[in-house]
Structure 1
Amino acid sequence: MVKLTIKEIAEQLQSINHLNHPFLEEMKKDTRKGVQSLIKKKYEAIKKLELEREQFFTMMQYENAMKLEGFNLIAGIDEVGRGPLAGPVVAAAVILPEHFYLGGINDSKQLTEQKRDEFYNIILDQAAIGVGIISAEEIDRINIYEATKKAMLAALNDLSVFPDYCLIDAMKLTIPVPQTSIIKGDAKSISIAAASIVAKVTRDRMMKRYSEKYPQYHFESNMGYGTKEHIDALHTYGPCPIHRKTFAPIKEMV
């Protein structure tokens, strides 16, 4: 029997996605170092995919429970930007379609920027999405807690279809449908994780645009959070129009 080349083996391995595949078992007997290296990488890749799948279905527990109770349009709601010194608070509401699957989805803070952008495009393409944005000026006027609720309600109302159940990250809203508030919901619910990704990508892109207008604060890297570089810039230049005037240390400066 003619041995396959390492390139041919690599090509065949691309279509394999479970550990008990006969070809994997056969290739384990090949003593070539290049082949063994390929097999090791393939095993690691498959195990990663299996862990992602397991995590995904664990994070479906709330959605599955609500579906068993007869709810069909389940929205996950999350916000980004409660803590920064500058920029808006942004909320997103996401209703995922039936049979949605996205391996590796998680709380947006746990993902790389590249992965967030990739997931954002997938969610945008497949799900119903609403976004709510409350400016720094309004945050100063009504406080960050009320602004967060207002952003979430705006995101809900921005959806093309209103949900019949809401899963909300650590907040309770006055809405005409039942809801569950989940602490650290972006790591426990697929719908909230998706909303977290949409909100963060939306806000980060806004802050990068603001950085072009106010380059001295380096919003493109700190996203408005109080890094040393940001605080130093505040002491040097003072606050700009998108800074939150009721947040320390800005309120002392103002």
Structure 2
Amino acid sequence: MTENIKKLQELLDCEVIPVAPNTNPKQLVETYLKLWQEGKEQKFTPVIVMADDILLEKFEIDLEDLDLPFTKEGMKIYREKILAEAQKLNGTDFYKEEKKEFLGEVSADEIHWEAPEDEELMFSAYLDINYDDESKSTIKEDVVIVKLPTEKSYEAFAWLPMGGFNDCPLPAEMTAMAKYWHEKHGAELATITYDTAEFYLNQPVSDKEALVKLAIEQYLFDVDIVEQGVGDVESLVETLYQNKQWYFWWD
């Protein structure tokens, strides 16, 4: 167990399962899905986390800004603060005016409705991707599966408070939006790094009208996935269609 993983376990005070870098990425997803199912019965949420220096430094800086110690007690107080702030927010109300504007510009008739060719679930936030042969991609250092003692996967943004830099929403805003998507689409927060988050959907979204609204919400939540990624909202809709994985990244 690396020093970073030990520190993360100390801060969260819950079970942390280290993932060896030589683990087959497919095996890691299988382990996640097994734990996801167990979590429904045992009331915990598994999240794959990359506990690198940047993420831990982010936690430490946030705690310092609040005059809190870099300990499990400090993290607990910070977590409770985020959750209290998130309770005052409603994801339904986010970006209301912007959504109205976009809805008039995006037409479902112009979108190619094709389900993903490869239905196998694969997350990427923690991978060193081999772009010549993605089957040879490997897992980075300091990757773990954290078993958070909550059934509410959206609370992972409070347990692992990334965000708040550049255009990335604050942890409380991310928690509220993740709750909204969980209640509306069943989305479960599955992976977190210092600049990336991925969601798992046991039942992917296939309703065309809902997908257009969802893509607009995701673009407003994270402009980088379009402007530095797929290029336009229509392409994002196509990416989300019947997809078990949602990907967010902030520059």
What is the TM-score of this pair, normalised by structure 2? 0.25
Question: TM (normalized to structure 1)?
Answer: 0.25
